Chain A
């Protein structure tokens, strides 16, 4: 670790007397970690903004970003080609220190951090002319980064939030590490979207997104997640959803606990069953009846204690094909491990699935991701399927 003028930090590597960024060969990489991002997911909250963070803590939510950041750092290569600049404590320093990587602290955080810290740090990084900034968080963090950065410096987004729909994010923390490698190799840059998700609408079960701005990212399309595509509407899309739900309804078995993920295809199924649906949450159904709505990880594991036969039905996200790791974060690695790959049914509307090259999982647990990978079928009509690969 090095100090930064005014930061009063000690120097870990005494021989490093000058700013490592002065070395023309050494790239200056900023690292900003949003320590609260993603914490609402497992407890069924739709984010960690404002009061939701306190609520998430009360509900027993665990931090997510340290794992994601560690996963990113563990997969880095060519660490001799760059030097990290970061904020103190949980916004970067703690994890870099744990991982034994060299870094310089440029901003001291207080006990409680906020979006203002992110903006302040990014502002400092612009001033100090970073070559690239890595941020760990969700769509809210991406917006904070954009506010202070615009198109001045390229970024890599490590996905860690509850809402991660912007296309500036890498597919996973591992993919983010590969992107950094591409950047060091001189990859060109491209502009990708930062989305503004309407928080109030989201909590009210409506996904309303607008384009907030663009950030520059290294050009590595296969490592970037595509932006979420809105569900198709119109008569044919609605008819297709009804076709899918009719098939699912006919295939549903007695005395099996069904956990229905978010989205309009699942809503079509519950409409058919005559029960309400939490559009952006998970609902538990048994023998055609609603057992519990908007369940979180704890609820699901409790229900699993009572139902030895259980199945999850989920819809891949349009545009990027995520089945787990974006959207319904209540399906935690623990839940998925207890469910088993064979009890996961994928269904979605034909137009949406036809455009996907593959499906993705990014649960944060590599072993669970591996267990879900491979060729899978997605129901896209009545007795109609598309087989495609699940990648992690």
Chain B
């Protein structure tokens, strides 16, 4: 799973306990409004643009189901699989554009060529699982001017990439940005995502209302008061990510850096996922959307990354012939 290795800060856990003490109650709306206000400030958009969701995947699914039936859905390959599966259920037609090796670059010319007639464009940026920032806000803004195009940008890894289209939602009714607190706020277990929605999305998703679990609501409220702690953690993860990547590259292992909290390795070790699992290390096998051998490795604590590096190298050396 893709998570942060540290538990939430004490302040966040203390706040969550308030929610636990009142577990017999639904989340009250004034607190939900406060949460939207704080998310609005954090995202630098108005609170009225915030749509809360129990996980960003749920909001993505809702939006895709709503907008895809009479549209051509365009997305990436690889991409976040639950979104693709949602689109497959309802989309009038679907086209996925391959992000090819070695740099996973999106061919914008092809993308523009594909946008014809009513379309829904869904892109994760940075892309999951390549971790590549595939499109800039300027490029998104250019696309948003096309007629009858709805755009959803999933920014689940925004805090690691620093690239966002949030500021465009005030100006473009046909844009929604989705995000999550799962990863950067150390709150994967709380399962909360949110959307920053342009007017058209706000209108069509007006009936989408989630009573967040009370514990989650209090936890996120406190987390938003402790953004500095989260940002420090993001910096640690980024440093560790780059350090680990460097070590693998130094060993001549095919590894790819990302703008997210993971690296990719193209492994030639047979059954690498199972072999690592036997050693107590869990990595994500992404060969269902990538050429064989690709694994996604989430950055952990420094000591965990060290163990992974040593174990991987040992497996690799047991296998490879040298020149």
Contact = CB atoms under 8 A, between A and B. Distances in A.
A190 B291 contact: no
Interface stretch (A26-34, A49-57, A276-284, A375-383): A375-383
Given A375-B110, A381-B88, A387 B96 contact: yes
A81 interface: no
A383 B92 contact: yes
Contact of B288 (A229, A355, A384): A355
Interface string A356-382: 111000000000000000010100010
A388 B110 CA distance: 10
B291 A357 contact: yes
Contacts of A216: 321
Interface string B280-323: 00000001111110000000000000000000000000001111
Nearest to B94: A384
A359 B24 CA distance: 57
A351 interface: yes
Contact of B292 (A187, A222, A319, A375): A319
Interface in A198-226: 216, 221-222, 226
A355 B92 contact: no
A390 B104 CA distance: 15
Interface string B103-139: 0000100100010000000000000000000000000
Given A377-B95, A381-B88, A386-B96, A354 B320 contact: no
A375 B247 CA distance: 35
Main secondary structure of the interface of B (DSSP, over half): loop
B93 A189 contact: no
Contact of A221 (B77, B100, B254, B290): B254
A69 to B, nearest CB: 26
B130 to A, nearest CB: 11
A188 B100 contact: no
Contacts of B114: 387
A358 B105 CA distance: 13
A305 interface: no
Contacts of B292: 226, 229, 319, 355
A354 B323 contact: no
B268 interface: yes
B321 to A, nearest CB: 5
A351 B288 contact: yes
Contact of A226 (B91, B291, B320): B291
Interface in B201-220: none
B100 A388 contact: yes
Contacts of A358: 98, 100-101
Interface string B225-252: 0000000000000000000000000001
A201 B78 CA distance: 36
Contacts of A186: 323
B98 A387 contact: yes
B224 interface: no
B323 A383 contact: no
Contacts of B254: 221
B97 interface: yes
Contact of A188 (B92, B101, B266, B322): B322
Given A375-B110, A387-B97, A387-B114, 12 more contacts: A188-B323, A189-B321, A189-B322, A189-B323, A191-B321, A222-B102, A229-B292, A354-B78, A355-B289, A381-B94, A384-B95, A389-B98
17 contacts: A188-B252, A188-B322, A190-B321, A226-B292, A229-B292, A351-B288, A354-B78, A355-B288, A383-B92, A383-B93, A384-B91, A384-B94, A387-B95, A387-B114, A388-B77, A388-B98, A389-B100
Interface of A: 151, 186-191, 216, 221-222, 226, 229, 319, 351, 354-358, 375, 377, 381, 383-389
